[in-house]
Structure 1
């Protein structure tokens, strides 16, 4: 394995991309410690720390602890994700956006531009929501001195505008950092920023576990059970993320001169979880948004009801989360993979599924297989993301510790490693998963995961 990492350093472009990505992570983590003006970060940390495993803990996890310190990155990348969800939905219901999506690179750039505008709009809305929320916290916790003096109306609106502009600028900067990683670094920038936020909280989680062990808040058996559970869930995620259904393919024989070409047997790899980490990210983003509305409503009955329902572990929250996970799994798979296009590409290349007529029959067969796989994938995502909420109550873990964080971290790591493998393969190096280097006349041994990532290209 050491030689594999040595091979990475031999490729200047890959080395540059990895160093650039690490540099962006360092810049991101530095910004997490810059507090919003006129806010007492220590007081905010005390309030959020007492929130434990509620929705505040979930938001804090996705922002890498930025909410706990009320830093300039307290909104995280969630407004961008929410804007992306809205644009994805609009590609289905708005014909003009659908046409843009089909216009190739130019159309996608236009949609990206609209997504940026949407990010700013949602950032402003959520930024004002955070300012109202901070005012409510300041009133309910006067001894903590969370905010500076806002006695006059002018001071109040000055604080609201300053907080809104600061948080929106922080989100826009994170969006730009994510795009830079995607373009000049390695992996998907937005997903890596979310993964980095999650991993940043792991050390404090481990420290908190041992602190609870020393204070007898949890038993040694519970600690060991959590470790075994975490290892088991990680193994299960790796298995499901790499699992695929291989649809057999046969290529028609062609006579070219005196030679016969074709007739080989291949397969079309379809991943069990085609949507990847998008459903849990989208669902979590959408569930965080109602808290913004609740912050505007204050102590009104509707605001209190939203705050009561939107608590991870509550049966209503779990039900909404599960429904959204299933919906986004089917929706994103349908957006990313078109069985008709796959069938047309197979027909043009002279490939067919044995026993299935080329064309519409093949498209129907692929759609049927894809539907069953997507259902299995949605159940897998729901179990991984929802089950830990029940275990939290059973084991008495008071902080946010869920399958969503593990799922995103492991899946994004697998995707990033796959991209590194592709760079190595392109330059005739063994990939990480290979047992040994091929002979001089042969190529490298490809892993099923890389094949499974390209169903729409078949």
Structure 2
């Protein structure tokens, strides 16, 4: 196996019990999540609900159902999925950039991070209650094939549904945090990943069924498969692409006559610094108001929901603008050019031809702005690919786009974390051996 591969070293997995325990824990938590995605909410006619969602294929409700791993179409206890948590995170991050007090809390280190996480949890519960009431109210007015979706409408059903859905979202949030703390990878991203992957076989079966019935030509299905492989390869290439800025360290004398520094290294800046966060955030922003509009009795809200459905021009425009905004927004959060320039100057580093300090910060900000523009165009193009296929051809929603970007991105991030874990443990093992040899 190539030493540079993200999976290099996995053959020695049995030699590292801690990593094995983390992987088993992560897999166990994801299995629990998938089991919960099949536990139905009481008071629902499953046949009528299934018939209703068959009419919603290709709409934003279908997209919401994808992020919940099919839990919404079955209206299980995990029907809201993790989207309320993501929406709450977006609101907190935006408020942090606006309100100085929240920004000060964020800079308090570990204690500040815990406070922000606590506020995010509270916001998740509030949003879940709000969305739960909207869904419960809308379900009572739903009909499919002359049958009502709700068996016994009323306040008892509404309160029970809100409590059930809010508890389910809170549990998913806890599962995600446990995976992040005690497992491998980002728990929230892995939960979304698991929901998408669980429904991919269904999409493939539907595609083959369309080919069998003649709705899709076999050559076109082959083209879709080849295109999926090509898009996956393109995503991997772009996620690994980076701009390397040369950094030179000046020589300095420490501890008497000892000289350090003088070496040349590079500062890597990824083209897509924000990763899979922008399409997830953009989807959450669009899904939240449109979900409420789908269940509201007002015609103008229903018209807005129709205009913002996948395949429509308005949806493509709003979705694209949201992705570009969150690409720049999240990049500004994870990378601070001024802080990087100050750290370089502190340790004697400088970019050749650029004065240290403010000039270096301006130079880094200029390069990062251009890279983010390229990254935003790449993410937007990949995410709009299924919209073009939906509007032009009758194909499943899963080919390309947001789902493939999330699957590939989360797979690469998780593999990189596993590789880093292996390298750190190998380094610790070498240090222990060196100490033992030194003592003997």
What TM-score does the superposition give when structure 1 sets the normalisation length?
0.89
**Distance verdict in 2 for CA 1:173–1:204, change over 3 Å:** same
Task: Give the equivalent residue in structure 1 for 2:438.
Answer: none
Task: Give the equivalent residue in structure 1 for 2:151.
Answer: 148
Contact 1:21–1:185 (CA under 8 A) maintained in structure 2: yes
2:27, 2:422 → 1: CA distance? 19
Task: Give the equivalent residue in structure 1 for 2:385.
Answer: 387
SS at match of 2:9: helix
What displacement does 1:428 show?
Answer: 2.1
Task: Give the equivalent residue in structure 1 for 2:25.
Answer: 20
Contact 1:18–1:186 (CA under 8 A) maintained in structure 2: yes
Task: Give the equivalent residue in structure 2 for 1:445.
Answer: none
**Distance verdict in 2 for CA 1:358–1:3, change over 3 Å:** closer
Task: Give the equivalent residue in structure 1 for 2:225.
Answer: 227
What displacement does 1:361 show?
Answer: 0.7
Task: Give the equivalent residue in structure 1 for 2:4.
Answer: none
Contact 1:244–1:269 (CA under 8 A) maintained in structure 2: yes
Contact 2:386–2:397 (CA under 8 A) maintained in structure 1: no
Q: 1:271 and 2:270 equivalent?
A: yes
1:107, 1:77 → 2: CA distance? 23
2:392, 2:292 → 1: CA distance? 32
Task: Give the equivalent residue in structure 2 for 1:131.
Answer: 136
1:296, 1:313 → 2: CA distance? 21
2:181, 2:49 → 1: CA distance? 35
1:398, 1:16 → 2: CA distance? 37
1:252-263 equivalences in 2 (<5 Å): 252-256=250-254, 257-263=256-262
What displacement does 1:402 show?
Answer: 4.2
Contact 1:61–1:201 (CA under 8 A) maintained in structure 2: yes
Task: Give the equivalent residue in structure 2 for 1:175.
Answer: 173
SS at match of 2:151: coil
Summarize deviations over 1:276-299 as a string: whole Å, max 9, x none: 11100000001101123314532x
SS at match of 2:209: helix
Summarize deviations over 1:331-369 as a string: whole Å, max 9, x none: 111111111110111111111100111111111111111
Contact 1:53–1:400 (CA under 8 A) maintained in structure 2: no
Task: Give the equivalent residue in structure 2 for 1:317.
Answer: 315
Q: 1:58 and 2:63 equivalent?
A: yes
Contact 2:386–2:398 (CA under 8 A) maintained in structure 1: no
Contact 1:75–1:167 (CA under 8 A) maintained in structure 2: yes
Q: 2:75 aligns with which of 64, 70, 76?
A: 70
Task: Give the equivalent residue in structure 2 for 1:92.
Answer: 97
Summarize deviations over 1:354-386 as a string: whole Å, max 9, x none: 011111111111111111111111111110111
SS at match of 1:6: helix
Summarize deviations over 1:377-415 as a string: whole Å, max 9, x none: 111111011122112233321545441000011001100
1:76, 1:328 → 2: CA distance? 21
What displacement does 1:137 show?
Answer: 1.1
Contact 2:45–2:149 (CA under 8 A) maintained in structure 1: yes
**Distance verdict in 2 for CA 1:426–1:398, change over 3 Å:** closer
1:279-358 equivalences in 2 (<5 Å): 279-295=278-294, 297-298=296-297, 300-358=298-356
**Distance verdict in 2 for CA 1:401–1:136, change over 3 Å:** farther
Q: Give unpaired runs (5+ residues) of structure 2.
A: 2-6, 428-432, 435-440
Contact 1:389–1:402 (CA under 8 A) maintained in structure 2: no
Alignment: residue pair count? 423
What displacement does 1:209 show?
Answer: 1.1
Contact 2:180–2:186 (CA under 8 A) maintained in structure 1: yes
SS at match of 1:201: helix
Contact 1:222–1:395 (CA under 8 A) maintained in structure 2: no
1:206, 1:76 → 2: CA distance? 23
Q: 1:185 aligns with which of 165, 168, 183?
A: 183
What displacement does 1:132 show?
Answer: 1.6
What TM-score does the superposition give when structure 2 sets the normalisation length?
0.93
What displacement does 1:261 show?
Answer: 2.4
Summarize deviations over 1:210-261 as a string: whole Å, max 9, x none: 1111111111111111101111111111111111100000010123444532
Q: 1:46 and 2:46 equivalent?
A: no
Q: Give unpaired runs (5+ residues) of structure 1.
A: 151-155, 430-439, 442-458
Task: Give the equivalent residue in structure 2 for 1:162.
Answer: 160
What displacement does 1:95 show?
Answer: 1.2
Contact 1:42–1:69 (CA under 8 A) maintained in structure 2: no
Task: Give the equivalent residue in structure 2 for 1:196.
Answer: 194
Contact 1:53–1:401 (CA under 8 A) maintained in structure 2: no
What displacement does 1:145 show?
Answer: 4.2
Contact 2:386–2:401 (CA under 8 A) maintained in structure 1: yes
SS at match of 2:309: coil
